[in-house]
Structure 1
Amino acid sequence: MTYFKKANWVLERLGAENTVIVDTRYLLTEPETGRKSYEEAHIPGAYYADLSHDLSGPKRPNGEGGRHPLPEPEVLAAFLGRIGIGNHTTVVAYDNQGGAMASRLRWLLQWMGHEGQVYVLEGGFTAWQAVDYPVSSEEPDAVEGVIFEPALQDEILVSRSYVKESIGKDGIVIIDSREAPRYRGEVEPMDPAAGHIPGAINHFWVESRHVDGVWKSPEEQAERFTGLSKDDEIIVYCGSGVTATPNFFALQEAGFKNVKLYAGSWSDWSSDSGNPVVVGDEEKE
């Protein structure tokens, strides 16, 4: 079963009990655009979750943790409670970035031990507007009395040191989720160094969707990762731990049971000039 849902499915659930809709629109190059877009128009009743302020913690001076460090669990739990998300709440998230920002929220909820269903609106807010469904500029009030109790699932998270120790180990595959030119080190618009982690293979996260933006089936996701063993430990990373999350879920849907996110990703790795860097291609498994 895919975790992407179409606009008509979401429309039928507007105002449903124990269901929270979250707008996660955000542009990495223009951080304020998402909030402004939300204030202009959003799905009625949706709350806004800002990648920089709500779905990430404060940046550290030395770059450790990357451009979007994970938020402190207690801080994130308080935010989730304020927008009505408890441990068993059904959540519908959307963005206009192909599901990447919404998948970041979904990953955070999984890490935090959320036990309810989490879905992503296929096609994002653009798909919602395309069928002329209702929109609102009214921001809902904060919710009182909802408590989210973190139960961290740290088995889906790895650190920089863990990744460094994993390089070249049998049974561990490192996947770089960025587009190929960044992986190969031909361009690097955001981080201190260009290239990739030694041994990492490239599976651009956008390939988890068809050219029309529709999320691929579990069978099609499995085909993307042909050659990898279901017994492998898979570590995914990207630039800052956001766009790797669609690959994280694509791998899970494809039947891989031991998938982990290097949350700091390339922005964390490249912040330490002592870390090894490779440019060019590496042969896929």
Structure 2
Amino acid sequence: MVHQNTVSIDWVNKHLEDSSIVIVDCRFQLGAPEAGRTLYDEGHLPGAFHLDLEQDLSSPVGQHGGRHPLPNVDELAVKLGSLGIDGTKHVIAYDEGGIMAARLWWLLNYMGHPGGASIMEGGYRAWGEAGFPTTSAPSTVITSTTFVPQIDTSIVIHIDELRHKLGQPGVLLLDSREAPRYRGEIEPIDPAAGHIPGAKNVFWKEGLDNQGNWRSREEQQARFAAVGAKDADEIIVYCGSGVSACPNVLALREAGYTNVKLYAGSWSDWVSYEDNPIAIGEE
């Protein structure tokens, strides 16, 4: 059984025929909801299946809960089982930049998947550039099975609990968005600009190098030490909608932190409540 949060394209290429592995293509483009499936149809890793951020890995948008609410666990479990994923299978997720694959990685951790999950470093682009095999043929499920969720509520936090913990000693709140959005200088998606009061900014993409590979444990430790993670009793991570925060959750895990929670609704949920405070600038 694999016990790594990330694996290299070389490792995946060597294990394409491994029956204990299920590969999932998570490519998706915000603003172009059909693009991910189109890219998959044009070419994907041999044997890979496709799961869509909005159709499979999120629930429908409501008044609250953010732009990408957590999916219905029972519905996602049925989808995973239909791909042959049960507790004996290790899932390899990939995309183009790390965000969507990290969403599936986090969801599988949240659902207590005993087989574990890893993200393929470098994504589909690196795979193609290495000359590894691709196909446009749809993948066939050899045997559908039953995925049994075992929800781990310790790694997620929702609005009421976050409000209660805001500003408490020992609680570190991390905003994973780009600095201009964190500071409230721009906001291209959500109805209000700024950040949750008290949050520190650690842009998720800084956890990867220029080749799309995850930085070393020491580099990840340095990123989070700079904002006081070593002194925190609890680290709460958020972004715009709970998706791009997942790479930071993984980076924190790689850095050795186990006291990490994802604010699932994130900024888009926070600003859906008119009485929630908003901060501007650096903190």
What TM-score do you get using the length of structure 1 for normalisation?
0.94
Which residue in the other structure is 1:35 paired with? 37
Task: Give the Å deviation of 1:265.
Answer: 0.4
2:11 counterpart (9, 12, 17): 9
Partner SS for 2:104:
helix
Which residue in the other structure is 1:85 paired with? 85
1:1-285 counterparts in 2 under 5 A?
3-60=5-62, 62=63, 64-97=64-97, 99-142=98-141, 144-226=143-225, 227-229=228-230, 231-282=232-283
**CA distance in structure 2 between the aligned counterparts of 1:58 and 1:178, rounded to whole angstroms:** 23
Does the 8 Å contact 1:2/1:217 carry over to 2?
no
Task: Give the Å deviation of 1:229.
Answer: 2.3
What TM-score do you get using the length of structure 2 for normalisation?
0.95
Partner SS for 1:102:
helix
Partner SS for 2:186:
coil
Structure 2 stretches lacking a partner, 5+ long: none
Q: Which runs of 4+ in 1 moved over 3 A?
A: 142-145
**Structure 1 residues 200-251: Cα deviation after superposition (integer angstroms, max 9, x where no partner):** 0000001111233221111111111113226520000001111101111111
Q: Report the count of equivalent residues.
A: 279
**Structure 1 residues 109-154: Cα deviation after superposition (integer angstroms, max 9, x where no partner):** 0000101131111110000110111111111234544111111001
**CA distance in structure 1 between the aligned counterparts of 2:87 and 2:199, rounded to whole angstroms:** 35
Letter in 1 for 2:118: Y
Task: Give the Å deviation of 1:88.
Answer: 2.9
Partner SS for 2:24:
strand
**CA distance in structure 1 between the aligned counterparts of 2:4 and 2:82, rounded to whole angstroms:** 28
**CA distance in structure 2 between the aligned counterparts of 1:39 and 1:214, rounded to whole angstroms:** 25
Partner SS for 1:225:
helix
**CA distance in structure 2 between the aligned counterparts of 1:91 and 1:277, rounded to whole angstroms:** 38
**Structure 1 residues 61-111: Cα deviation after superposition (integer angstroms, max 9, x where no partner):** x1x1111111111001001001111123111110002x1110100000000
Partner SS for 1:20:
strand
Does the 8 Å contact 1:87/1:113 carry over to 2?
no
**CA distance in structure 1 between the aligned counterparts of 2:13 and 2:231, rounded to whole angstroms:** 37
Letter in 2 for 1:253: E
Q: Identity over the aligned pairs, expressed in percent?
A: 49
**CA distance in structure 2 between the aligned counterparts of 1:54 and 1:230, rounded to whole angstroms:** 37
Letter in 1 for 2:179: A
**CA distance in structure 1 between the aligned counterparts of 2:258 and 2:203, rounded to whole angstroms:** 20
